[in-house]
């Protein structure tokens, strides 16, 4: 878990443009994929791979593919009360991007003649054709160090978390945490940022959540530590960046954390609209795996 004010949270970065722009339309898509496991693949991993394959199938059918190789990373899946995320799948690159799930994935699980798991997954969602207008940027989650060399997707209980960010153009960035409690929490702008926006200068490197990095005019850095209740847990980070100013989603102060928050389902709807309105809005999603001591 990522902990702030003794409450576990997850990260997301988001910006919303106030200008209307022509962007690729967001479409409803549906995909299906069957993953055939082996003795080394757990049921949870089979479900995760099946889900990723179904998403790729939906994107490929709607938008086509590019003859190249890419690494795809899966979203979270719940299986019998266990949280399982983190999978990498080498696949043909698709010419579309997944925006959000539309409901829960549907699974049919069976065993083959050798008692290996066979998982069929059907998923519906929102997606759009990849636009070349989105701005490139570099965002990395850092473990126990304030430099890009500390980038990691795996954390342990007691670690500190920082975020590295750099972009080739001026723009705006905002960070949120998505918890398994069904809420999304704003992490950037910082709580005491009087400007209530984070404007990035091109070519400059930024370290967020480090109390020693206060040279930026973003207010006093909020700090985030890692904690787990004795089991492996998974958090997700989303980073959105655009050269255009974003109005953030309407959030209420959470009673326990003191952070602005909203339901994850409402945040997903807002994110779809934000990306529809601003074709220059770039998104980077990062998953974190957290181990107990």
pLDDT for 151-198, tens place per residue? 998 889 999 999 999 999 999 999 988 876 778 888 888 888 877 789
pTM above 0.85, yes or no: no
Burial class (CB in 10 A: 0-12, 13-18, 19+), 38: exposed
- Identify the sign of the CA torsion 130, 94, 273, 74: negative
Burial 179-209 (b: 16+ CB within 10 A, else e): bbbebbbbbbbbbebeeebbebeeeeebbbb
pLDDT tens-digit profile of 39-95?
777 788 888 889 888 988 898 899 887 533 333 333 333 343 333 332 333 334 577
The whole-angstrom separation of Cα 69 and Cα 56 is 13
CA distances to 28, 210, 225 from 157, in Å: 39, 18, 8
Q: Which two tokens stand for residue 118?
A: 């066979």
């Amino acid at each position: 878990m990522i902990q702030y004010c003794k409450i576990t949270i997850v990260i997301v970065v988001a910006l919303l443009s106030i200008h209307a722009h022509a962007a690729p339309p967001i479409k409803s898509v549906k995909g299906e994929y069957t993953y055939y496991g082996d003795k080394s693949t757990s049921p949870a991993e089979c479900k995760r791979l099946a889900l990723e394959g179904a998403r790729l199938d939906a994107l490929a059918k709607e938008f086509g593919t590019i003859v190249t190789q890419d690494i795809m990373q899966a979203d979270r899946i719940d299986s019998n009360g266990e949280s399982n995320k983190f999978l990498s799948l080498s696949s043909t690159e698709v010419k579309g991007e997944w925006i959000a799930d539309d409901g829960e994935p549907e699974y049919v699980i069976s065993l083959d003649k050798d008692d290996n798991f066979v998982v069929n997954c059907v998923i519906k969602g929102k997606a759009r054709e990849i636009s070349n207008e989105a701005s490139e940027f570099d965002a990395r989650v850092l473990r126990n160090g304030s430099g890009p060399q500390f980038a990691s997707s795996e954390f342990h209980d007691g670690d500190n978390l920082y975020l590295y960010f750099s972009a080739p153009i001026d723009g705006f960035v905002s960070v949120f945490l998505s918890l398994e409690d069904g809420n999304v929490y704003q992490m950037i702008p910082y709580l005491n940022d009087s400007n209530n926006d984070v404007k990035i200068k091109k070519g400059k490197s930024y370290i967020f959540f480090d109390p020693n990095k206060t040279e930026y005019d973003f207010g006093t850095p909020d700090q985030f530590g890692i904690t787990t209740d004795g089991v492996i847990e998974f958090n997700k980070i989303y980073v959105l960046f655009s050269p255009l100013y974003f109005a953030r989603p309407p959030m209420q102060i959470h009673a326990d954390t003191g952070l602005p928050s909203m339901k994850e389902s409402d945040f997903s709807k807002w994110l779809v609209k934000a990306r529809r309105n601003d074709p220059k809005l770039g998104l980077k999603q990062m998953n974190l795996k957290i181990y107990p001591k």
